[in-house]
Amino acid sequence: MSNSDGQVLSVDEIHALVVDVLASNGCDAENASAIADTVASAERDGCLSHGLFRVPGYVKSLRCGAVDGKARPTLTRPAPSVLRADVNLGFSPLALAMTRPELIEVARRQGIAALALVRGHHFAALWPETEALAEAGLAAMAFTASRAAVAPAGARRRFFGTNPMAFAFPRGDRPPLVFDQASAAMARGEIQIAARDGHTVPPGMGIDLDGEPTTDPKAILDGAQLPFGGYKGSAIALMVELLAAGLIGEAFGYEAHENANPASGVQQSGELIIAMDPACFGDAAGWLVHTEAFFARLTALDGVRLPADRRRRTREVTLREGVRVAPALFAEIRGLL
Ligand code: NDP
C-alpha cells in the first residue's frame, strides 16, 4: 500500500527487498540474507537509524570494492573460552550468525565464553547479538569500536568512536532484558537523519570544527559528537576502545578513521561479545527466581520501564500492520536494484 506518507511494507517484504538489493550489488545469498535479518529487525523494532537507512551505505561499500560481499569467516580458538572469528573483510552479520552456535555451546560448557570478531564491517545495532544469546538462556555483553567521531571529555576534537555496548539478561519464559546504547550522547545515525531532514539536534550532542557547542547536525558531523554523561560516558567509550580494539587486535577509533576506505568512507572494526551461563556461577537453582523478584520490585516503581520495552511494543505493531517507509528512502533503495 502506498500514499503520500510512504509505502507500507511487511517485515518479510523489507527482508526480501534488502536481499534483492544486496544480491544485485555483489553479495552472495548467505551474506545478503544475514544483513537483511539485521535491517529488517531494526525496521521491525523502530530502530530507523540502523534499518533501511543503512542500505545505501552497504551498497556503496560493495560497489567500490571496500567490502567482500561473499566473504566467509575463519573461526579459531586461541584459548578454551575464547573464540576468534576473522570476518575476512566481509560484513559482520553472517560471521555473527555462523559463530553463534559455537559461542553458546562453549559458554554452556565453560560457564563463560568470549567471541572476538576482527576484520569485519559492522553497520548495525548491537542488540540483536545480545538478545539472541539471552534467548538461549545466557547473559551477554557486546562492544564494538567504530571510527573516531566523539570528543573525549575535556577535548575539542574527535578521538573515540561512538562505541556502543549492549547487555542482555535471560528471564526464563519472559523476553530477555536488553539494552543497547552508544557512548555518544546521540547515535550518529540520528544526527545524519537530522542533517538529511534539515532539523537541529538538542544542545549537548556535539561541537563544531572549532570545538564550539552547536545544534547544527552538519557542523557536528564535521566536528565531533559528545559522550553521554560527560566524563562518565567518556570512560565507557574508553573501555569499549580497549575491549573491542586493544584487547582483540583491532583498530582503535582514530586508527579506523585514518585507515577508512577513501572511496566509501567505510572502515573495518572489531567486536567483542561475552556470554555467561547463569547456571554456572554458583546459584543454579535460585538465580532466576532471585532476578525475577528484582525485576518485579524494579518495575513496580512509578515511572520505570525496562529497556527494550519500546522496541517490543513497536515490534507487535509492525508485525501486525507493517512498516511505513518514507517515500524518498523507498525510492532510493529501489533505485539500487
Ligand atoms: P538510545 O539512547 O535510543 O537507547 C539506549 C537504550 O536505552 C535502549 O536499550 C533503550 O531501549 C533504552 N531506553 C531508552 N529510554 C529509556 C527509558 N526511558 N527507560 C529505560 N530504558 C530506556 O540508543 P543510542 O542512540 O545510544 O544507540 C543507538 C543504536 O546505535 C544502538 O543500537 C547501537 O548499537 C547503534 N550503534 C552502532 C554502531 C556500530 O558501529 N555498529 C555505532 C554506534 C551506535 P528501547 O530501545 O526499548 O527504547
Closest C-alpha among 199, 167, 203 to residue 185? 203
At 79, the pLDDT band (50, 70, 90 cuts) reads very high
Ligand 1: which atom is nearest the Cα of residue 126? 34
Grid cell at residue 113: 565464553
- Ligand 1 centroid distance, CA of 191 (Å): 14
Nearest-angstrom CA–CA distance, 182 and 166: 9
DSSP-assigned letter for residue 174: E
Ligand 1: which atom is nearest the Cα of residue 182? 26
Pairing state between β 82-86 and 112-120: parallel
pLDDT for 143-164, tens place per residue? 999 899 999 999 999 999 999 9
Q: Is the dihedral of CA 8, 11, 16, 20 positive or negative?
A: positive
pLDDT for 211-270, tens place per residue? 999 999 999 999 999 999 999 999 999 999 999 999 999 999 999 988 887 777 788 899
DSSP-assigned letter for residue 124: S
| Residue reference for cell 577509533 | 253
How many Cα atoms occupy the beta-carbon half-sphere of 155 within 13 Å? 17
Nearest-angstrom CA–CA distance, 81 and 115: 9
Q: At what angle do helices 55-63 and 327-334 cross, to 10 degrees?
A: 20
Q: Which residues contact 277 (CB under 8 A, 6 or more apart)?
A: 107, 108, 111, 112, 137, 138, 139
Nearest-angstrom CA–CA distance, 180 and 168: 9
Decide whether any atom of ligand 1 lies within 6 Å of the 144 Cβ.
Answer: yes
CA angle 156, 161, 163 (to 5 degrees): 130
- Ligand 1 centroid distance, CA of 47 (Å): 9
Q: Is 86 helix (H, G, I), strand (E, B) or coil?
A: strand
- The predicted model scores a pTM of 0.95
By the 8 A CB rule, do 285 and 156 touch?
no
pLDDT for 285-302, tens place per residue? 999 999 999 999 999 999
The per-residue pLDDT for 1 is 56
By the 8 A CB rule, do 270 and 95 touch?
no
- Ligand 1 centroid distance, CA of 170 (Å): 19
Q: For the chain, what is the mean pLDDT? A: 96
Decide whether any atom of ligand 1 lies within 6 Å of the 146 Cβ.
Answer: yes
- Ligand 1 centroid distance, CA of 311 (Å): 10
Ligand 1: which atom is nearest the Cα of residue 123? 41
Decide whether any atom of ligand 1 lies within 6 Å of the 38 Cβ.
Answer: no
Nearest CA to ligand 1 atom 48: 310
Decide whether any atom of ligand 1 lies within 6 Å of the 180 Cβ.
Answer: yes
**Catalytic center residues:** 49-50, 190
DSSP string, 81-146: TEEEEE-TTSBHHHHHHHHHHHHHHHHHHHSEEEEEEEEEB--S-SHHHHHHHHHTT-EEEEEE--
